[in-house]
Amino acid sequence: MNITLEKVAREEEAILQNIMQFYLYEFSKYVKNKKLNEKGLFKPLNLEDYWTKSNYHPFFIKVEGELAGFVLVRSETDTEPNSIEQFFIMTTYNGKGIGRIAAKRIFDMFTGKWKVIQIKNNYPAQAFWRGVISDYTNDNYDERYDEEDERCSVQEFETTK
């Protein structure tokens, strides 16, 4: 199976916003007050930083050339570690290892310190990231719950080339 990560160009923002509607729909199970607007859509995410800041990186996840999801990455700075800002795989591709492969490729692309956070009650995401990170780091990571942020699950680790 050919899985690729392709940088999203600013001209492709509308495509990214379209697939984000599916992501926001899935996410609405875990976040209160996610409502549709008068056009029947979720409020689009503000992606301006991904086009204007050098440490923000949007990628499409494709399988055999077909759009299968996306990942938004904020890369390490002097004060902040790398982080997965948003990650989504279409339901059609769930359970096939595509998300695991894409996540590991992102970790390889952005070496250094990482902090991956999942919101409370999103147990599928917590299990996914715990499994991927455990496998990727050979269990060499720290995990905690961030009590200040309503018991979000947080994994921290470091990657090298």
pLDDT in tens, 112-134: 999 999 988 899 999 999 999 99
CB-count burial class (<10 Å; 0-12, 13-18, 19+) for 94: middle
**How many CB atoms neighbour CB 118 within 10 A?**
21
For residue 149, the model assigns a pLDDT of 61
Distance, CA of 20 to CA of 65 (rounded, Å): 19
Distance, CA of 91 to CA of 5 (rounded, Å): 18
For residue 4, the model assigns a pLDDT of 98
Which residue, among 3, 9, 7, has the nearest Cα to 99 in the 3D structure?
Answer: 3
Which residue, among 138, 124, 107, 45, has the nearest Cα to 116 in the 3D structure?
Answer: 107
For residue 32, the model assigns a pLDDT of 78
How long a stretch of residues is the chain?
A: 161
Token pair for 43: 């409020």
For residue 161, the model assigns a pLDDT of 67
Where along the chain do its domains lie?
3-159
For residue 55, the model assigns a pLDDT of 97
For residue 151, the model assigns a pLDDT of 67
Which residue, among 115, 91, 99, has the nearest Cα to 61 in the 3D structure?
Answer: 99
Q: What stretches in the chain show pLDDT beneath 70? A: 147-151, 161
CATH 3.40.630.30 describes domain 3-159? yes
Which residue, among 46, 50, 48, 104, has the nearest Cα to 72 in the 3D structure?
Answer: 50
Which residue, among 128, 115, 104, has the nearest Cα to 26 in the 3D structure?
Answer: 128
For residue 148, the model assigns a pLDDT of 66
